[in-house]
A and B are shown apart, each in its own frame.
Chain A
Amino acid sequence: MATATTTYREALREALREALSADDRVFLMGEDVGKYGGSFGVSLGLVEEFGPERVRDTPLSESAFVGTGIGAAIAGMRPVVEVMTVNFSLLALDQILNNAATLRHMSGGQLSVPVVIRMTTGAGRQLAAQHSHSLEGWYAHIPGIRVLAPATLEDARGMLAPALADPDPVVIFEHGSLYNVSGELAPVEGPLDVASAAVRRSGDDVTLLTYGGSLPKVLSAADLLAGEGISAEVVDLRSLRPLDDATIMASVARTHRAVVVDEGWRTGSLAAEVSARITEQAFYELDAPVGRVCSAEVPIPYARHLEEAALPQAEGVAAAAREAVGHRG
């Protein structure tokens, strides 16, 4: 079948439309998801199609509406809760951690919480320090939830259905810089595997591990490196919890060098977890210390040049890869 040109935003919307059509138990709720069309335009047009019962505007009360989504999921519904940004999700962190992630265990296995929580993450749009952070690593710390980071059109289109089919809570992070990315998207064929990391580019000399909004930068870095004769393999983690150790270790076993690229802050980051696992599981494959390229440890600043300096960029990734491979200069 023919591919069609689409955007990351449209791919997400198409996935929502499909889910709402396929299952009466599915509904979307969040701040301005209705008439407004979602703060990033993802749900534009859906309220007209499915009505205000199933595309529900909520008051600005993250804890209440995320908790309501969790309660509805317990009762057998399949809510998709949109939280405007990961920074705002902190207002609902009590519900996500103390309820969604723990109810199954605390009830001795009696409860399932099949809720999907979508939120925007990441910087790059000069939105300053309360709309730009990458806290995926915090969520990936929590047992009891699955954390997904779609970085491609295919994943934007395909991750929602398996997330809704999951009997446990799933948090999906949409990177704000990706919404306008456009490209060709083949029609969906069968359910998408969301448990595995994906090798987005094959290479022999160094493995660049990343996820979400950093993927395009890392692929650019790989282009830069190729021009210098360094063949970089790019692994898109996709699932941040659980991590697909097998794919990570298989790649490191081929290249013997790894650089983890993570828009979160370095200290206590997801990159730290990936690096620790490589050291635990592939120590005898390592031919260089595991490198990390993370955001500078500063609240993300507003000014464009400062923001750019604070974030991982292709050139920095390439430099870390050169260091790992052992090319100086």
Chain B
Amino acid sequence: MPSLGADMEAGTLQEWLVAPGDTVTRGDVIAVVETDKSAVEVECFESGTVGRLLVAPGTRVPVGAPLALIEAAGRETAARDRAAAPVEQPAAPRPRKAGQEAAPVPQPPVVHAEAGPLVRHLADERGVDLTAVHGSGPGGRITRADVEGTAHEGGRRPRATPYARRLAAELRVDLGTVRGTGRDGAVRGTDVRKAAHLRAGPAPAAAETAAPSAPARAPLPVPGRAGAAEPAAAAMRRAIGDLMSRANREIPHYYLATTIDMSAALAWLRARNRELPVGERMLPAALLLKAVATAAVEVPGLNGFWQDGGFVPGRGVHLGFVVSLRNGGLAAPVVRDADSLAPARLMTRLKDLVERARRGRLRGTEITGGTLTVSSLGDQGVEAVYGVIYPPQVALVGFGAVLERPWADHGMIGVRPVVTATLSADHRASDGAVGARFLNAVDRLLQKPENL
């Protein structure tokens, strides 16, 4: 059981995506785990053949417990032997570190079909899964037209009723894998239930091999009634509560705020968006995140962790972005190396992460390893966010809504779009002057968006 967050102590295996005998490659998604916060896909960090599945779906096991055996080059190894080390300090930042060591960079899924770099890039931009695209080029090569066609027909968006979509999210069923029996092949509620039922079917056989010490817990998806979501929501509430209580207890927060003139940033966005297809247009969030990431490089005291009584700078700027989930609760997917991404690319990453966070389809590595978190409640209409730091990080940047406000500039008053940027920072790791430099840098960077 991988550690999928600093606060994670145990997880419930929801679903196996592989069966014994399957060949797996490093980076493949092999299972779905339900944490207190969300359902997360578990990647495999070994290549080989799946041997025994040790944990049955619906079983809750502590972080570090082996989930399955993978036979690599003819020998059977525990897939998780490194993480299977004694699970001491479950709430400490250690598991995060372990995760970073195990998988510093998430590997893209292996593409078996032939596709050139341009096509790969396009597929990435449009969110098209190349393994699912039928190549029409010479030798089955995937062409640009194939990707565009797939993106156009909504390849990633199966036709499904609103109820089926909701149910699929609740039961953690991937709609793309469900055969629809509705009109024009639309996936309906009953199809999702059937898929969830089939998935849960083979569980008992494997359950016998599960570690007997694993604390028993009722499998989360109780098919059929809306009440099923409640225990999960309550557990998430508790997890958030625990983590935030800890943050408030342990971290001496200080808070700074500054109001930033967004005229230049918005003008640049408008101009840029005119050149972009509708689906790729950027929101101000892309620029705000990029400015934060760049400022974090310029003013290093805020990007990293408080560990063992000292500040440990992050390796790279990996920005967590707080997403509020539809059924309540939060997720903070991480945009890795945000400082090196162009705003448009950052926007694409952000859109993808937010969408999957809302569907409960984030991978483990995508919610760990953040070095600095950004919380934007602008879409909720508030002016400023004074957030609680996500331990062991040492700072959280908040953004309110971009609002029109009277603004004095060179003795003249005009109406400008402005945003309030706030910084919550750990006084053990930095002082107000550092925070002020940081916010000033964010402001300055946003005045020259073309350089971002």
Partners in one complex: yes
**Known A253-B226, A256-B189, A326-B188: A285·B182 in contact at CB below 8 Å:** no
Q: Are A284 and B189 in contact (CB under 8 A)?
A: no
The reply to whether B183 and A326 form a contact with Cβ atoms under 8 Å apart is yes
Residues of A within 8 A of B164 (CB): 287
A284, B356: Cα distance in complex, Å: 18
Q: In the complex, are the beta carbons of A286 and B161 less than 8 A apart?
A: yes
* Contact between B181 and A285, CB atoms less than 8 A apart: no
Contact check, B162 vs A285: say whether CB atoms are below 8 A apart: yes
How long is the Cα–Cα vector from A287 to B182 in the complex, in angstroms?
A: 9
B166 within 8 Å of A (CB atoms): yes
Interface string of A294-329 (1 = CB under 8 A from B): 000000000000000000000000000000001000
* Chain B 164-179: CB-based contact to A (< 8 A → 1; otherwise 0): 1110000000000000
Taking a contact as CB atoms under 8 Å apart, the answer to whether B188 and A287 are in contact is yes
Docked Cα-Cα span, A287 to B160, in Å, equals 8
Closest chain B residue, CB of each to CB of A288:
B161
- Residue numbers in A under 8 Å from B165 (CB-CB): 284
- A88 on interface, CB distance cutoff 8 Å: no
Nearest-CB residue, chain B, relative to A328 = B183
Task: Evaluate contact between A285 and B163: CB separation under 8 angstroms.
Answer: yes
For residue A50, CB closer than 8 A to chain B, the reply is no
CB neighbours (8 Å) of A253 from chain B are: 226
Interface residue? A283 (CB, 8 A): yes
- Measured between C-beta atoms, what is the minimum distance from A304 to chain B in Å? 34
Check if B182 sits within 8 Å of A326, measured CB to CB: yes
Contacts of B162 in A (CB 8 A): 283-287
**Contacting residues of chain B (397-442) with chain A, CB-CB under 8 angstroms:** none
Interchain CA distance A253-B166 in the complex, whole Å: 12
How far does the Cβ of A161 sit from chain B's closest Cβ, in whole Å? Answer: 38
CB neighbours (8 Å) of A284 from chain B are 162-163, 165-166
Contact status A287-B183, CB under 8 Å? no
Q: Are A285 and B188 closer than 8 Å at their CB atoms?
A: no
B166 — which chain A residues lie within 8 A by C-beta? 284-285
Count of CB-CB pairs between chains A and B under 8 Å: 30
How far, in whole Å, are A256 and B164 apart by their CA atoms in the complex? Answer: 10
**Cβ–Cβ < 8 Å partners of B163 in chain A:** 256, 284-287
A286: chain B residues within 8 A (beta carbon):
161-163
A179 to B162, CA, bound (A): 42
Whether B182 and A288, one on each chain, are in contact in the complex, defined by CB atoms closer than 8 angstroms, is: yes
- Specify which chain B residues have a CB less than 8 angstroms from the CB of A287 in the assembled complex: 161-164, 182, 188-190
Docked Cα-Cα span, A14 to B57, in Å, equals: 65
Shortest Cβ gap from A218 to chain B (Å): 23
Report A27-60 residues with CB < 8 Å from chain B CB: none
Q: How far is the CB of A64 from chain B (nearest CB, A)?
A: 51
Tell me if A's interface is mostly helix, strand, loop or mixed.
loop
Q: In whole angstroms, what is the CA distance A213 to B182 when docked?
A: 32
A284 to B164, CA, bound (A): 8
- Binary contact track A82-111/B, C-beta < 8 Å → 1, others 0: 000000000000000000000000000000
Chain A positions 273 through 292: 1 when the CB is less than 8 Å from some CB of chain B, otherwise 0:
00000000001111110000
The residue on B at minimum CB distance from A284 is: B166
CA–CA, A256 and B167, complex, Å: 11
In the complex, which residues of chain B have a beta carbon less than 8 angstroms from the beta carbon of A285?
A: 162-163, 166
Residue of A nearest to B166 (CB): A284
Return the chain A residue nearest B160 by Cβ.
A287
Complex CA distance for A286 and B165, rounded to whole angstroms: 10
Contact residues in A for B226 (Cβ distance below 8 Å): 253
Smallest CB gap from A283: residue in B: B162
Which chain A residues in 245-292 approach chain B with CB under 8 Å? 253, 256, 283-288
Q: Give complex CA distance A283, B190 in Å.
A: 17
CB distance from A168 to the nearest CB of B (A): 36
CA distance A309 to B165 in the complex (A): 38
Max chain A C-beta neighbours (<10 A), residue from B161, B183, B190, B226? B161
Within 8 A of A (CB), among B181-195: 181-183, 188-190
Report the minimum CB–CB distance from B219 to chain A (whole Å): 23
A283 to B226, CA, bound (A): 14
Q: How many Å from the CB of A63 to the closest CB on chain B?
A: 47
Interfacial chain B residues near A256, Cβ < 8 Å: 161, 163, 189
Within residues 67 to 126 of chain B, which ones have a CB less than 8 A from any CB in chain A?
none
Question: Residues of A contacting B182 with CB < 8 Å?
Answer: 287-288, 326
A133 to chain B minimum Cβ distance, whole angstroms, is 33
Chain A residue nearest to B186 (CB atoms) is A288
CB closest residue in chain B, given A285:
B163
A85 to B161 alpha-carbon distance, docked (Å): 42
Complex Cα distance A201/B161, Å? 26
Question: With the chains together, A284 CA to B183 CA distance in Å?
Answer: 18
Interface residues of B in 142-170 (CB under 8 A from A): 161-166
The minimal Cβ–Cβ distance linking A263 to chain B, given in whole angstroms, is: 27
Would you give the shortest CB distance from A280 to chain B, in whole angstroms?
12
Q: Would you give the shortest CB distance from A265 to chain B, in whole angstroms? A: 25
CA distance A256 to B190 in the complex (A): 10
Q: How far is the CB of A90 from chain B (nearest CB, A)?
A: 39
**B173 to A: closest C-beta gap in Å:** 14
- Once the chains are docked, how many angstroms separate the CA of A288 from the CA of B399? 40
Minimum CB–CB distance from A179 to chain B (whole Å) comes to: 40
Question: How many angstroms from the CA of A288 to the CA of B190 in the assembled complex?
Answer: 11
The complex places the Cα of A326 from the Cα of B189 at a distance, in Å, of 11
Quick one: which of A285, A287, A288, A326 has the most chain B CB within 10 A?
A287
Closest A residue, CB atoms, query B161? A287
Residues of chain A lying within 8 A (CB to CB) of residue B188: 287-288, 326
A69→B188 CA distance, assembly (Å): 53
| A325 CB, min distance to chain B CBs, angstroms | 10
Distance, CA A288 to CA B161, complexed state (A): 6
Determine the residue in chain A with the shortest Cβ distance to B188: A287
Nearest-neighbor residue (CB-CB) of B181 within chain A: A326
B:39-79 near A, CB below 8 Å: none
Residue of B163, B166, B183, B189 contacting most chain A CB atoms (<10 Å)? B163
Tell me the bound Cα distance from A275 to B108 in angstroms: 44
Inter-chain CA distance A124–B181, complex, in Å, is: 38
Query: In the assembled complex, which residues on chain B have CB atoms less than 8 Å from the CB atom of A326?
Result: 181-183, 188
Residues of the A chain whose Cβ atoms lie less than 8 Å from the Cβ of B161: 256, 286-288
A17 smallest CB distance to B (angstroms): 47
CB distance from A154 to the nearest CB of B (A): 32
- Smallest CB separation, B229 vs chain A (Å): 11
Cβ proximity bits A156-185 to B, threshold 8 Å, 1 near / 0 not:
000000000000000000000000000000
Q: How far, in angstroms, from A284 to B161 measured CA to CA in the complex?
A: 8
Q: How distant is A146 from chain B, measured CB to nearest CB, in Å? A: 32
Scan A218-257; emit 1 where CB is below 8 A from any B CB, else 0: 0000000000000000000000000000000000010010
User: Contact residues of A with B, CB < 8 Å?
Assistant: 253, 256, 283-288, 326
What are 5 A-B pairs with beta-carbon distances under 8 A?
A286-B162, A287-B164, A287-B190, A288-B188, A326-B181
- A-B CB proximity, top 4 nearest: A287-B163, A284-B166, A287-B189, A287-B161
Known: A285-B163, A326-B183. 5 other contacts (CB 8 A): A284-B166, A287-B182, A287-B189, A288-B182, A326-B188
